[in-house]
Amino acid sequence: MTVTTARPTRTSRLPVAVAALSLLYGVLGLTWLLGGPLDYPFGPTRADGDRISLLAFVSTDVGAGLVAVLGFLGVPAALGHTQTTWTPSAYRPLLLFTALQAVVFGVLAPSMTVIIVVGYLLVLVGLPVAFAFLVAGAWRQPVTRVLLLGVLALVAVLQFTTGLFDWQAFRELGSALADVPERIGTDPLFVFGALLLGAGWVALGVRTLRAVRGRCLHCGRSHDAAGVRAGADPLGGPPHWTDPESARRWGFWATIIAALCPMPYALVRLTWLLPTPVGLGIDSATLDANPGLKLFGLGLGVVALTSGIVTLGLIRPWGETWPRLIPFLAGRPVPLKAALIPATTVAACLLVSSLSLGQLLWLPEESLLTNLGHLALFPFPLWGASLAVATAAYYYRRRKPCPTCA
């Protein structure tokens, strides 16, 4: 029996992109196996446990060899997803191999590095961009003007009471950031690349699974809605829980949980403004001696607080229409992808980081109380899962008729 799938259209470039990235990791794996100039980024010889991936439980030779083999074999496998006709004996092994690739590159290879780098980038890039938006919007929107004045007043108060924004703090922060490339090397690039490759294999697997089940490659809906209603297609038809009203109900609580998860970390970081900071093993004397560290840590707290607030947009009207304080976009509909892409990316990074966090919780030198504190400050498993569910609810609530299958 031959299963004919829908012919790919704009998604045809995805298998080629995955094949190219897979070939790159095949070459990298071979380089690491032969002891080339690049350091192996997934190995067990790292001192900072928060960057250890699950591939650290095997030797460097085994891990590098696995990456090389899967990388080279992934090239024909990825290109195999361009086929438009399948037999059951052909597509099942291909889907199993696709799942193996997704697990190795998307789950075993990445580590807590991904969420650390995302957080740092949000501080270094996200906060300045947000402030620039406020400045630009202050000339166009009265609401933005008021918000900008409030931010400037808060900065002035903090500077007057704590001396937080002095020249020494920025100079120390800049010096520390200049040393980052030399200290971390190219490891984050390879870790993020592995996560991207794993995500590509997931997308290929979902796309092919939809094809062999006769569903639309773009939205996943069944092509034959009448057959679904009549019960002819036991796999087809959108289930009741994907209805907009149903998704609104179960997505509400998932969004609330996802918004609350970063709050403990945000509050602990913001206590660095007090004479006696709380948690994270840093006292006031250390912070006073390192103003750049204090400034950057408070930036992380602001990012965590802001991320919780922004998450509420998945259930609030301003998550569908740009609010008035957003310059140039105020009053326009929020594109679905503008929320789905960042929310899905963060959820994936949090879930992957949960595996590294699980290793940290089992360190023998840490007490049970310390481990519980880590889990309270970094609830990555709950945060990632709840954000993924909230994002799915947002998608089901806002999706429109598919432009491909109508």
Over 50: is that where the pLDDT of 234 sits?
Answer: no
Kindly list the domain boundaries of the chain, sorted by start residue: 3-111+186-220, 114-182+241-398
337-382 pLDDT per residue, tens: 999 999 999 999 999 888 877 776 666 556 656 666 677 788 999 9
Q: Specify burial of residue 4 (Cβ count, 10 A radius: 0-12, 13-18, 19+).
A: exposed
Over 50: is that where the pLDDT of 61 sits?
Answer: yes
pLDDT of residue 287: 81
Q: Please compute the mean of the pLDDT values over residues 53-75 and round it to a whole number.
A: 90
Over 90: is that where the pLDDT of 210 sits?
Answer: no
Please, what is the angle between helix 113-121 and helix 336-361, to 10°? Answer: 130
**Greater model confidence, 71 or 281:** 71
DSSP letter for each residue of 30-90: HHHHTT-SSPPTT-S--S-GGG--GGGGS-HHHHHHHHHHHHHHHHHHHHHTT-SEE-HHH
Separation between Cα atoms, residue 176 and residue 350, nearest integer Å: 26
The three-state secondary structure class of 3 is strand
Separation between Cα atoms, residue 43 and residue 59, nearest integer Å: 7
Separation between Cα atoms, residue 199 and residue 101, nearest integer Å: 10
**Greater model confidence, 221 or 70:** 70
Which position has the token pair 């690739």?
101
Q: What is the mean pLDDT of the chain?
A: 82
Over 90: is that where the pLDDT of 102 sits?
Answer: yes
Separation between Cα atoms, residue 144 and residue 159, nearest integer Å: 22
pLDDT-based confidence at residue 252 (cuts at 50, 70, 90):
very high
Counting residues of the chain whose pLDDT is more than 90, the rounded percentage is 34
pLDDT of residue 279: 67
- Nearest one of 13, 11, 7, 15 to 79, comparing CA atoms: 15
CB 50 within 8 A of CB 103: no
pLDDT of residue 173: 81
CB 296 within 8 A of CB 123: yes
- Nearest one of 185, 47, 64 to 55, comparing CA atoms: 64
Q: How far is CA 288 from the centre of its chain?
A: 33
